[in-house]
Structure formats: C-alpha cells, structure tokens
Amino acid sequence: MAQLISKVPTLINRSIAAAKPKLEVFVKYAKVELTPPTPADIPQIRAGIGRLISDAKSGKWKNTTVKEAFVNTLVSVEVLCWFYVGECIGKRHIVGYDV
C-alpha cells in the first residue's frame, strides 16, 4: 500500500504532462469558436444570410455532394436534439409541462 501511495505524485505529474497539449489546443479553439459575435461581425453575418437566401432561391442547394448533405443532416439532427434537451431542462420534466 505504501508503494502505491508513493507512486501517486508521479502518476499525477504524468497525467498533467499528457493532458497539457490537449488542453492548450482546446483553449486555442475555444477562444475563437466560443466567443459571442462582436458588432464588427454584423456585416459578415448579414452577407452570409443574404447568400443563404439567394442560394436557396436559385436552387444551388441541389448541387451538394452526398457527403455534404450527410454532414448537414447530422448537424440538423444535433441542433434538434439540443433543442429538445433544452426543452426538457426548461420545463423540468421529460413529458409535459407541470402546470
């Protein structure tokens, strides 16, 4: 038992050393991807929405590959699932509202 306890600090140090590069990559991407939009981003957002509407009207969505369509479907299902999880959290019940 004493040997096991004496190995704990080295195990902790190894774990920290192994996790540090992954944590740095996570923080790098989190700073970029998880920040809310700034007022300087509003024109880009408007342009993106305009392109989306014009592409929908022109039928450009018909030219997507199977891989792109599959990825878009997975993203849509994920958003829908998170919506339902949020609903369950908001109403604090799995089924129905507690009125």
| pLDDT per residue as tens digits for the range 35-88 | 888 999 999 999 999 999 999 999 888 899 999 999 999 999 999 999 988 988
Neighbours of 61 (CB within 10 A): 13
Q: Are 58 and 95 contained in the same domain? A: yes
Q: Are 17 and 61 contained in the same domain? A: no
Q: Is the pLDDT of residue 99 over 70?
A: no
Q: Are 47 and 29 contained in the same domain? A: no
Residues contacting 37, CB < 8 A, separation 6+? 45
* Residue 4: domain span: 1-35
Q: Are 59 and 96 contained in the same domain? A: yes
Maximal CA-CA distance, the chain: 73
**Number of helices (H), then strands (E), in the chain:** 3, 0
Q: Are 12 and 30 contained in the same domain? A: yes
Q: Are 26 and 70 contained in the same domain? A: no
